[in-house]
Structure 1
Amino acid sequence: MNADVYNNDYYGNESVDEVGPDESWVQLYSDRFLGIVYSLMFIFSLSTNILVLVIIHRFEKLTTVTNLLLLNLVLSCLLFIVSLPFLGADLLLSDWPFGDLICKLVGILYYLGFYSSVLFLTVLTFDRHLAVVYSLNAQRVRSRTYALVSCAVVWLVSALASIKPMIIHKSYYQQMHERTYCGEVGGSQVLWSVGFYTQLLLFFLFPLLVIMYCYTRIACTVLSSQIVTKFKTVRLIFVIVLLFFICWTPFNVALLMFESATTPEDRDRWRETVNVTERFTHLYFCISPIFYTFVGRKFQNYFRMLLVTRFPRLKRHISVSQISPTNMSG
């Protein structure tokens, strides 16, 4: 979950080499920098997601599949980003000052938001694929019941996947570094293996394959249509797939190598790689909702309407159009 989430593992008795003075200073400044980054990520993500909630509340109706899925995506992102200030404080203070209970609660929110956000992004992608590729027949499938059942399944699967980190997530004091950590520690090899394969298969390979398939079909459909802005749409599709691949592949490859390592030296090396690459996945949660909201013409118009309502003088410089509330993907 943080820079020390894999500081201990199920072997529990691996030796840790002493860290030299230069390396300590490098680690200290690296942690300070990351603490500031986490704080900025929290402010940015909180602002954008709250803005989406405000627009849904003011201009939209929760009767469409897209809006229901988008609302749940925003809620899952909010669960995840609530943990960021705690992770930032941990890095800035070089210590976990909040106790074991808060550590476990933050861990639960982190993983529940982490897992559900990935699945909701996948479901949103699949739903957009239905709406574009099967536009004539999709309305019979894309009902409110379909959306509610999809959301319920995502939350249930995410909650079940969060059981493993919930069990072994705790605060612990490390004598050598003279500091308290908050992360995953202990647990059986079976528990770690189940968590690893769940992460790799359910929260990486499955979403990646679904997203690549759906956006390939969407791109083919758009290119074969008469849509004027089709090349801009295809470019956006490419960016979404590329962003997912860049943010998630290094982390999961590092997890695979960490799980496959047989020597303490290899495990130490890949443990640090896991910790570094995991931070790239955080960027995906901060950026990805923008592609599902801000890039839509309807959302941009709603945003301009909010600005004009709040600052009437901008009406001379900002044009808005009256559109019916259906969904924010338009």
Structure 2
Amino acid sequence: MNNTMEAGPEPKLGYALFYGSIMALGLPLNAVSLWILLRHHSLKTPSAVFMVNLAISDLLLVISLPMRVYFYATGTWPLGDLACNLIRMLFRTNIRSSNFFITFISVDRLLAVVYPLRSRHLRTACNALKAVGLAWLFVLVTHIPVIVKRSGFLESNNKSTCFEFSQRQPKISAMVYVKPVIVLTMLAVNIVCTTLVSWTLHRHLSDSARVNNKINVMLIFIMNLVMFTICFLPLSLSLLINRTASEPLVCLATVNCCLDPLLYYFSLDAFWKKKEDADLPRE
């Protein structure tokens, strides 16, 4: 097979501009976030562990965007199909791992606010590292069928292109349903966490000195729900119902790498200052 792919569809400058904007925002935001998290917090708390891995996941997505920009700006793909599959897998890695890490952050905040004493033995950096390790392992395992089959959008209309979506519905496989179900399950977990934390904070809202901190706590949960409902849910429902996705939904999903840093910035004291425990204030 030729190493250089043939010309594909016409250039789509709108998509090129969109992905270029995401790259321009996502790269500095996540690079700076990762630097601050590692320099000020290291991996000594579960919150830091989850946020560091979330930033790494977002950077993996960002580094795949330049070739998307090139493809949509020129309508050509200069690399082989192996490179195309690798770049597409970086996108999938971000979507799947971000689901886990965002949910881990929600569960960690739930334990810190609702069960601060009983959860001390659970909320350790060691347990957090085990959780993210399992998450990365799951993500890697889900890539195996793609690597083995080496199939995807490149076969559409017998043209050698990349990132183009075939109009044919793919063959039904277990993973077609497993991935959306996981996203829906994690969305449900985030909703439950948000509800329980909101109820707990409402009961102890009398301490006016801590109102701002409590707002910051809720903003984290709200941002998690926003990312699930706007970035992940539409793409997952499309995969579940139609067994395929559209480029606008993929565009929407990439926005998450620009929203994730807001999770860190909502708690400026815990984010900018080095502390032994970066937990948010709790009752």
TM norm structure 1: 0.71
Is 1:257 equivalent to 2:246 in the alignment? no
Given candidates 258, 277, 280, the residue that maps to 1:326 is: 277
Task: Specify every segment of 5 or more residues in structure 2 that has no aligned partner in the other structure, as ranges.
Answer: 1-8
Structure 1 residues 254 and 220, CA gap change in structure 2 (3 angstroms): same
Query: What is the deviation of 1:135?
Result: 1.0
Is 1:206 equivalent to 2:185 in the alignment? yes
Distance 2:38 2:240 in 1: 42
Letter of the structure 2 residue corresponding to residue 200 of structure 1: P
Is 1:88 equivalent to 2:69 in the alignment? yes
Query: What is the deviation of 1:87?
Result: 1.2
| 1:148 corresponding residue in structure 2 | 129
Given candidates 144, 152, 162, the residue that maps to 1:181 is: 162
Is 1:219 equivalent to 2:198 in the alignment? yes
Count of paired positions: 266
CA contact (8 A) 1:219 1:237 kept: no
| 2:51 corresponding residue in structure 1 | 70
CA contact (8 A) 1:94 1:179 kept: no
CA contact (8 A) 1:96 1:182 kept: no
How do 1:14-93 residues align onto structure 2 when only pairs under 5 Å count?
A: 28=11, 31-93=12-74
Letter of the structure 2 residue corresponding to residue 327 of structure 1: A
Query: What is the deviation of 1:175?
Result: 6.5
Query: What is the deviation of 1:246?
Result: 2.5
Given candidates 219, 223, 226, the residue that maps to 1:242 is: 226
SS of the residue aligned with 1:162? helix
SS of the residue aligned with 2:265? coil
Letter of the structure 1 residue corresponding to residue 201 of structure 2: V
User: RCO higher in 1 or 2 (8 Å CA, sep ≥ 6)?
Assistant: 2
SS of the residue aligned with 1:141? coil
| 1:159 corresponding residue in structure 2 | 140
Higher alpha-carbon Rg: 1
More displaced stretch, 242-251 vs 61-70: 242-251
Distance 2:278 2:136 in 1: 22
Structure 1 residues 168 and 98, CA gap change in structure 2 (3 angstroms): same
TM norm structure 2: 0.82
Residue by residue over 1:262-301, the C-alpha shift from the partner in whole angstroms, topping out at 9 and shown as x without a partner, is xxxxxxxxx5x633222211112321x2232011122564
Q: CA RMSD in A?
A: 2.9
Distance 1:283 1:213 in 2: 24
Query: What is the deviation of 1:158?
Result: 0.9
Distance 2:197 2:231 in 1: 22
CA contact (8 A) 2:71 2:77 kept: yes
Structure 1 residues 71 and 120, CA gap change in structure 2 (3 angstroms): same
Query: What is the deviation of 1:53?
Result: 1.7
Query: What is the deviation of 1:36?
Result: 1.4
Q: Percent identity?
A: 23
Given candidates 284, 296, 300, the residue that maps to 2:267 is: 296
Task: Specify every segment of 5 or more residues in structure 1 that has no aligned partner in the other structure, as ranges.
Answer: 1-23, 260-270, 303-322
Given candidates 94, 98, 114, the residue that maps to 1:117 is: 98
SS of the residue aligned with 1:254? helix
